[in-house]
Structure 1
Amino acid sequence: MKEHFTVQEAADYMNTTVRFVRRLIAERRIAFHHLGRHVRLKRADVDEFINAGRVEPVWRAA
């Protein structure tokens, strides 16, 4: 498995658009790395972003 994603690969991994990933980067809502002119996102950072948005279900007592 790849350790770093391009913006397109991150969008595919999260099943979203490139525009959404670029907005996350522009708003500094997800960690990223600049390699010259290229932007890379670490798989662990993408997974962390996804997990941070997790909402646990509420179970009602019977």
Structure 2
Amino acid sequence: MTRGGSNRLLTVQEVADWLRVSEVTVRNKYRTWGIKPQKVGRLLRFRERDILTYLDQHHG
């Protein structure tokens, strides 16, 4: 993986597992956290690089 992450799209479940929170927490908090979702139809997906940026800014 290159510095800054990839453009790989992660599901809500993958993000929740990574952050060790529930899917409900991800769905309710992504706006508060400032993470922009990518819509695939009606489904939410998140860029890996956006999650890494959030973690660097808030927990790095």
Q: What residue number does 1:60 align with?
A: none
**Is residue 2:35 matched to residue 1:43?**
no
More helix by share: 2
Unaligned runs of 5+ in 1: 56-62
Residue equivalent to 2:12 = 7
Identity of aligned residues (%): 25
Structure with higher RCO (Cα < 8 A, 6+ apart): 2
- Structure 1 length normalisation: TM-score? 0.71
> Unaligned 5+ residue runs, structure 2?
none
CA–CA distance in 2 between the matches of 1:32 and 1:18? 14
State the alpha-carbon separation in 2 of the partners of residues 54 and 28 from structure 1: 12
CA distance in 2, matches of 1:53, 1:26: 14
Residue correspondences, number: 55
Alignment-derived partner of residue 38 in structure 2: 33
RMSD: 2.3
